[in-house]
């Protein structure tokens, strides 16, 4: 496990509530696409769970920076992130996490809710940059269209790569954008998009309740438990 100082070099607003933070490192931190790191604001008390949290990388391991993306809340941790200025330093420790992409995966499906998109961006960006030819299908659910993080990046990757298929769905209101569907990710929606989960490695990231439902759905649709990777994103 590595500990490194990271210097903030850029902030990017993704949605009204979601922001990305890009950091430069003095030495490269090796991680796999889909993994996470611990951001440590309280270096004197490493057991401080309010100020030392885990965030997934939302950037490919091949970039010359690392990026974290967070839905900012009123929590102490969120406010610490929000208060960072360009050139401020933080301590990070990592990498962590077993929900990582491996190049041997030839077909992957993502069942994603909200801010669970962050490790997906790391994975898809890595696949695109390395021209892997992996077949990617992303089902991405949000409450409103305004909360679809990384939509421009995802649309660009899909437009340039025939192996990438992305399906957006909105749960709280009828979408205005005709590229978005209305409703929850369910068996009918997946089948209508001709996606066969039994042939795929399935990544499920999102709120705990959604992850539990998607795990059961994946098993019901014939995906072996050994091919399902889940991570529950709890807001903080």
Task: For 14-27, write each residue's pLDDT tens digit.
Answer: 999 999 999 999 88
Given this model, what pLDDT does residue 38 score? Answer: 97
Mean pLDDT of the region 203-215: 95
Given this model, what pLDDT does residue 194 score? Answer: 81
* Per-residue pLDDT reduced to its tens digit, 95-134: 999 899 999 999 999 999 999 999 999 999 999 999 999 9
- For residue 28, how many other CB atoms are within 10 A of its CB? 13
* Distance between CA atoms of residues 213 and 78, nearest Å: 28
* Residue 236, pLDDT above cutoff 80: no
Mean pLDDT of the region 167-178: 92
- Lay out the sheet containing 107-113: strands in order across: 180-182, 164-170, 135-142, 107-113, 201-206, 228-232
Tell whether the torsion through CA atoms of 123, 29, 70 and 51 is positive or negative.
positive
Q: At what angle do helices 117-129 and 151-160 cross, to 10 degrees?
A: 30
**Residue 216 neighbours by CB under 8 Å, 6+ apart:** none
* Per-residue pLDDT reduced to its tens digit, 125-139: 999 999 999 999 999
Tokens 């607003």 belong to 13
Domain boundaries along the sequence of the chain:
2-96, 107-232
**Residue 60 neighbours by CB under 8 Å, 6+ apart:** 33, 122, 125, 126, 129
* Residue 87, pLDDT above cutoff 90: yes
Q: Is the pTM of this model over 0.85?
A: yes
Terminal CA-CA length for the chain: 24
Mean pLDDT of the region 151-178: 95
Q: pLDDT band for position 234 (50/70/90)?
A: confident
203, 110 Cβ separation under 8 angstroms: yes
**What CATH number does the domain located at 107-232 have?**
3.40.50.80
The fold adopted by the segment(s) 2-96 is: Elongation Factor Tu (Ef-tu); domain 3 (2.40.30)
Q: Which backbone phi and psi does 222 adopt, to 5 degrees? A: 95, 10
* Distance between CA atoms of residues 84 and 11, nearest Å: 9
């Amino acid at each position: 496990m590595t500990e490194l100082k990271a210097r903030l070099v850029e902030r990017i607003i993704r949605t009204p509530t979601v922001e990305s933070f890009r950091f430069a490192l003095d030495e490269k931190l090796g991680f796999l696409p889909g993994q996470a790191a611990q951001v440590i604001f309280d270096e004197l008390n490493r057991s401080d769970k309010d100020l030392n949290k885990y965030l997934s990388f939302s950037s490919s391991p091949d970039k010359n920076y690392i990026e974290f993306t967070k839905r900012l809340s009123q929590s102490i941790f969120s406010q610490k992130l929000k208060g960072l200025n360009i050139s401020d330093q933080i301590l990070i420790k990592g990498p962590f996490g077993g929900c990582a992409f491996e190049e041997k995966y030839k077909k992957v499906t993502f069942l994603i809710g909200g801010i669970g998109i962050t490790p997906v961006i790391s994975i898809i960006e890595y696949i695109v940059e390395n021209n892997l030819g992996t077949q990617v299908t992303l089902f991405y659910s949000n409450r409103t269209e305004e909360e679809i993080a990384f939509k421009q990046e995802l649309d660009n990757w899909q437009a340039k790569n025939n192996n990438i298929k992305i399906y957006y769905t909105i749960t709280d209101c009828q979408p205005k954008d005709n590229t978005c569907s209305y409703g929850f990710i369910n068996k009918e929606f997946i089948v209508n998009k001709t996606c066969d989960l039994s042939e795929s490695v399935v990544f499920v990231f999102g709120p705990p309740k959604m992850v539990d439902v998607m795990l059961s759905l994946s098993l019901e649709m014939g995906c072996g438990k050994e091919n399902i990777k889940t991570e529950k994103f709890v807001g903080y």
